[in-house]
Structure 1
C-alpha cells in the first residue's frame, strides 16, 4: 500500500480530519524544533563565550521552557487524537467490509471466504492502530520537519548542510533494502492468522458433533501447527524490525558524527561561532529523526497495512445494483422460476429450473446434496442474481425489486437459524401473549420454556447460546409462525430434530397453510414431501457433461 492510500480517506471519513490535523501539527512541530535549537544554542553560546549569569539568560531559558512545553503539548494532542481516529477509522472500515460482504450476497462468502472475512473484520483491522498512531504521524513529520530543519541548517552553515544532504539519502536507501527483505512477510502473517481463525471457527461450529463422536481432540494438532506458523511469522517480523532499527540508528549516528567532526574542527580553527555550531549540532539529528522513525514504525504498521489492502479489495468489489420497484403483495402473487441457472464449482447448481409457486400453497424443493436447492432459495429471496433465467414475482423481475420491500414479506428459516441476543420473548417476537403461547404449544417450545428457570424472560446469548440445536430450531420455527409474512421459506426445518420434533414441523406447516400463507420447503424427508402440494426436482449440471469449463 502507498504511504497514504487515497482509498483510506475515501472509505474512512475520520481519517480525513485526522490527516489534516496531523499535517497542521507537523508544521507546528517543525517551527518548534527550529525555535528550540536556536534558543538552546544562543543560551549556551552566551553562557560559554560571554560568561553571562543565569539571571541574564532567564528570558531565553523561559522561552526555551515554553517551546519544550509546547512540543510536549503537541505530542499529547497528536497521541490523543491518533487513538480516537484509529478507533473510528477501524470501525468505519469494519462496518464497510461487513456491509459490502452482505451486499455481495452469500456467493461471496462461499468457498472458505467467510472465515477469512471474519478474521479481517475483527482482529485483522485492529492492526491498523499502529499505522494511525505511530507510522502516519512520523510520515507527516518527515514531510515537514525534515525539509524545514534542513533549510535552516543550510542557512546557518552551508558545509554542514551539504554533509547532511550527502548522507540523508542513505536512510531511505536502507529503508528500501530492508523493505525488500520484508516484502510479503506481513501478508503471510495475516494469511496465517486467517487460516488459524478459520480453523478455530470451524472447530467451534462443529464441536458438538465432534464431542458426540469422541473426536473433539482430533483437530488439536492442526490448530497447533497453524498457531506455530502465525507465531513464526510474527517473530520474523519482529526480528526484521529490530534489525532495521539497529541499521537506521547506526547510519544516523555516523551521519551526525560527520557533521559534528566538521563543526568541531572549524570551532578549533575559529572558522565558526559557537552559537552557530551548537544550533547546527542540535538540528542535525532532527533532520534524520523523522525518516528514522518512519523506518522503525513501518514494521509495526505493516500488519495493519496488509489488512487494509484486503479490506480495500472487498470494498472495491462492485455490489449488485439495487432495484427500485416495490415488491407486489405476496398474499396474491404467483412466483415463477424460469430457466433458473447459477454457476457453481465444476458446473451449474441448479440448471434450467422451472417452478411455479402459487400463493397459499406448500411447495417442496427436492434433489441430492449440491444440486442447488438452497441456491435456488437465495435467488428467490434476491440474495443473488442468477447467471441465467429469471425469478418473476407476478410480472416483475426480482432483479428490479427493492429487496427491503420483498424481505419485509418473508419469514426465512435457514438450516442454521440466526437468533439475536436477548430474552426468549423478545427473540420470538409476535403480537399478543396469547398468540405467542398458542404458537409455542404448536412447535413444542412451551415444553422448553417450562424447563427454563426464568421462562420467557430467559436471556439468550449470541446465536441462541444456552439452548440446544433442537431447541433453537423450535424457537426459530415459533418466530416464523408469529411473523406477519405471507411467504415462509423453510430450509431443511427438520434436519436437527428427532421424530417428535419432525411432527412439530409438520404441524407448523399445516398451520401455515391453514392461515393462507405460502410455504417453500427444502426437504429430504418423505413426511415433509407428502405434506407438500407440489414437489419440484432441482438438478445439477456438471461442466464435463455440458462440454464447458466453469470456474468457481
Structure 2
C-alpha cells in the first residue's frame, strides 16, 4: 500500500492539479508560518524585555523596542490571515480534486470494462466491482481531504522549516535532524500492521457485498424452499465479522495517532530543554529562542498528521489499487479473427486452451452465405466458446478464424435493459427505425407486442420466452440495419414453445435466403432439423463431424 501511487497521477489528471496547486499553497503557508512565528516572537520579546530589565548575556540581543509593537502586530495579523487562506485553499483544492479524480477513475475503469471481453477471467463478481467503483472510490475523499494536504506540507513545509530553524539556531536544527527520523520509523512499523488489517477488512466488505447480492438474486427460490432464514443468519454473521474487522482497523489507527503524538512531543521537548537551558545561561537571544520554540511544533505537525491521515484513508487506497488493476487488466477483446471481405464464416483448426487445458480441441468447419449451420454437442463441449472466438471475446490458442465485417449476435441471456421494447430492440441506434423494429418483433414471433411497452430493470415485465424473442428481434434489427454478413445465435429458442420456435426458424431461413451466413448453437431438435448442416462438437476430443 503506497502513500502515493504513481498510477493515480497517470489515470486521473485532476490529481496532478491537486498536487500542483497544493504545493503552491503549501509554500505560501510555510512562508506565512515563518513570518507569523518571527513576528510573534519579536512581539513577546519587545513586551517582556522592559519588564525583566537588563538581563545578562545575549538574552536581549536582536530585540525590538516596545514602540515597534504595532507594526509587528500588523505583520503577525497579515501572516495569520495568509496562513488561514492558504490552509482553506488547500482544503478546497483537495475536496474539489477528489470529486474530479473519482469521476476520472470511475470513467477509466468503466470504459475498460466496457471495452473488455464480457468473459472476464479476473474472478471478480459484479458485486465486488460495484463495491470497488462505488463505496471504495468514495473513500478517496478522506485520502484527498485529509492525507494529501498533509503529505504536501510534509514534502514542502518540513524541509523549509528545518532550514529556518537551522538559520536561527544550528544546534536546535541538528537536534531536530537527529530525533526527526524516529517518527517515520514508527509510521512504517504501524503502517505495515495497518495494511494487513485494512486488506482483511476490505476483503470482508467485498465478500459481504457479494453474499448480499447472491441472496437478493435468489430470494424467490429461497422463499419457495423455506431457506431464507438461514441466509439471514449467514448475512448477520458476515456483518458481525465486518464490524469486528472494522474495530481492529480503528484500534490500530488510534494506536498510531498516540504513538506519533508521543514521539513528536518527546522530540519537541528535547529541543525545548536545550533552548531553555541556554536562555537561562544567557547564551541565546530571547527573540531567537522564542522563534525556534514557535517553529518546532510546525516542523513536526505535518509528519505527525500525515501518519494519522494515512491510516484514516487506507480504505480508499485499497479500493483504488483494485481500480488500477481493472484499468490495467489485459481483458481486451481479441481481434485474432481475420475479417473477410465476403460473407462466409471459417474455422480452420481452431483450438482453445485455458489453464494449460484444452477446452476445445482443433475444430474446422465453414458456414457459407445463404446457409444455416447448427452447432450441436453436449454441454461444456465449447460451442458457446467458439462463438466467443468468432466475436473476439476469446483468443484461440491456435488456428485461424475469418468472418464478415459486420456481425449480428444474440447470446444465451436476453440482456434487456430498463426502457421500452423499442429501445431494447434498437439498442445503440441513435436514430431507431420504427418500421424496422416492428418487422423484427414480428419475425421473432412477437407481432402483438407493443414496441412502446415499458420494461423494468433487466427487462422486468416480460416472460422468459418474450425476453428471449426480444433479444432475437434485436439481433435481426442489427442485421438489417447494418447489412450484417452473418448472424450468430446461442441457444435462441431454449425458452420457447414449439410454435414460436418454428417462427424463429423461419426467420433464420429467411436471413440465409437474404445471403447471410447463419450459425446457431442449439440442442433443440426443431432448430437442428431446420439447419442445412449440423456440426457436432465433442468435449475434450478432436471429433467434429458435419
* Alignment deviations for residues 459-506 of structure 1 (CA, whole Å, 9 cap, x no partner): x45533454444432322222222223322222223344556545544
Give 5+ residue unaligned stretches, structure 1.
Answer: 395-405, 450-454, 544-552
Aligned residues: 522
Structure 1 position 279, deviation (Å):
1.4
Structure 1 position 193, deviation (Å):
2.2
Structure 1 position 113, deviation (Å):
5.5
Structure 1 contact 491–523 (Cα < 8 Å) conserved: yes
SS in 2 for 1:524: coil
SS in 2 for 1:417: coil
SS in 1 for 2:120: helix
Structure 1 contact 142–290 (Cα < 8 Å) conserved: yes
Structure 2 contact 116–333 (Cα < 8 Å) conserved: no
For residues 42 and 71 of structure 1, the distance between their equivalents in structure 2, rounded to whole angstroms, comes to: 18
Give 1:401's aligned residue. Answer: none
Give 1:536's aligned residue. Answer: 535
* Alignment deviations for residues 420-453 of structure 1 (CA, whole Å, 9 cap, x no partner): 443332332285433333433443545453xxxx
* Alignment deviations for residues 55-105 of structure 1 (CA, whole Å, 9 cap, x no partner): 953322232222222222222222222223222223333333333345552
For residues 132 and 392 of structure 1, the distance between their equivalents in structure 2, rounded to whole angstroms, comes to: 50
Is 1:237 the equivalent of 2:249? yes
Aligned with residue 471 of structure 2, among 453, 473, 476: 476
For residues 181 and 113 of structure 1, do their structure 2 counterparts lie closer, same or farther at Cα, with a shift above 3 Å needed? Answer: same
Q: How does 1:456-495 map to 2 (within 5 A)?
A: 456=452, 458=454, 460-483=455-478, 484=481, 485-495=484-494
Give 2:422's aligned residue. Answer: 425
For residues 421 and 440 of structure 1, do their structure 2 counterparts lie closer, same or farther at Cα, with a shift above 3 Å needed? Answer: same
For residues 359 and 199 of structure 1, do their structure 2 counterparts lie closer, same or farther at Cα, with a shift above 3 Å needed? Answer: farther
Structure 1 position 206, deviation (Å):
3.9
Structure 2 contact 445–469 (Cα < 8 Å) conserved: yes
Structure 1 contact 365–536 (Cα < 8 Å) conserved: yes
For residues 478 and 318 of structure 1, do their structure 2 counterparts lie closer, same or farther at Cα, with a shift above 3 Å needed? Answer: closer
Structure 1 contact 361–533 (Cα < 8 Å) conserved: yes
SS in 2 for 1:535: strand
Q: How does 1:120-131 map to 2 (within 5 A)?
A: 120-131=132-143
For residues 423 and 360 of structure 2, the distance between their equivalents in structure 1, rounded to whole angstroms, comes to: 37
For residues 229 and 520 of structure 1, do their structure 2 counterparts lie closer, same or farther at Cα, with a shift above 3 Å needed? Answer: farther
For residues 517 and 312 of structure 1, do their structure 2 counterparts lie closer, same or farther at Cα, with a shift above 3 Å needed? Answer: same
Give 1:546's aligned residue. Answer: none
Give 2:409's aligned residue. Answer: 412
Q: How does 1:280-291 map to 2 (within 5 A)?
A: 280-291=292-303
For residues 265 and 3 of structure 1, the distance between their equivalents in structure 2, rounded to whole angstroms, comes to: 39
* Alignment deviations for residues 357-385 of structure 1 (CA, whole Å, 9 cap, x no partner): 11232222212222111111110111221
For residues 66 and 334 of structure 2, the distance between their equivalents in structure 1, rounded to whole angstroms, comes to: 75
Is 1:199 the equivalent of 2:211? yes
Q: How does 1:175-214 map to 2 (within 5 A)?
A: 175-211=187-223, 213-214=225-226
* Alignment deviations for residues 374-416 of structure 1 (CA, whole Å, 9 cap, x no partner): 111110111221012111237xxxxxxxxxxx4xx22221122
Structure 1 position 292, deviation (Å):
0.4
For residues 341 and 203 of structure 1, do their structure 2 counterparts lie closer, same or farther at Cα, with a shift above 3 Å needed? Answer: farther
Residue range with higher mean Cα deviation, 203-212 or 409-418: 203-212
Give 2:57's aligned residue. Answer: none
What TM-score, normalized to structure 1? Answer: 0.85
Residue range with higher mean Cα deviation, 465-474 or 522-531: 465-474
For residues 542 and 187 of structure 1, the distance between their equivalents in structure 2, rounded to whole angstroms, comes to: 43
SS in 1 for 2:381: coil
Give 2:27's aligned residue. Answer: 27
For residues 226 and 357 of structure 2, the distance between their equivalents in structure 1, rounded to whole angstroms, comes to: 36
Give 2:360's aligned residue. Answer: 350
Give 1:142's aligned residue. Answer: 154
Structure 1 contact 364–522 (Cα < 8 Å) conserved: yes
Structure 1 contact 346–542 (Cα < 8 Å) conserved: no
What TM-score, normalized to structure 2? Answer: 0.85
For residues 374 and 208 of structure 1, the distance between their equivalents in structure 2, rounded to whole angstroms, comes to: 28
SS in 2 for 1:364: strand
Structure 1 position 514, deviation (Å):
4.7
For residues 293 and 476 of structure 1, do their structure 2 counterparts lie closer, same or farther at Cα, with a shift above 3 Å needed? Answer: same
For residues 223 and 505 of structure 2, the distance between their equivalents in structure 1, rounded to whole angstroms, comes to: 30
Structure 1 contact 341–351 (Cα < 8 Å) conserved: yes
For residues 461 and 15 of structure 1, the distance between their equivalents in structure 2, rounded to whole angstroms, comes to: 38
Residue range with higher mean Cα deviation, 23-32 or 286-295: 23-32
SS in 2 for 1:194: helix
Q: How does 1:5-404 map to 2 (within 5 A)?
A: 5-50=5-50, 57-109=69-121, 111-112=123-124, 115-211=127-223, 213-318=225-330, 327-329=339-341, 332-344=342-354, 347-393=357-403
Residue range with higher mean Cα deviation, 111-120 or 287-296: 111-120
For residues 518 and 189 of structure 1, the distance between their equivalents in structure 2, rounded to whole angstroms, comes to: 52
Give 2:55's aligned residue. Answer: none
Give 1:402's aligned residue. Answer: none
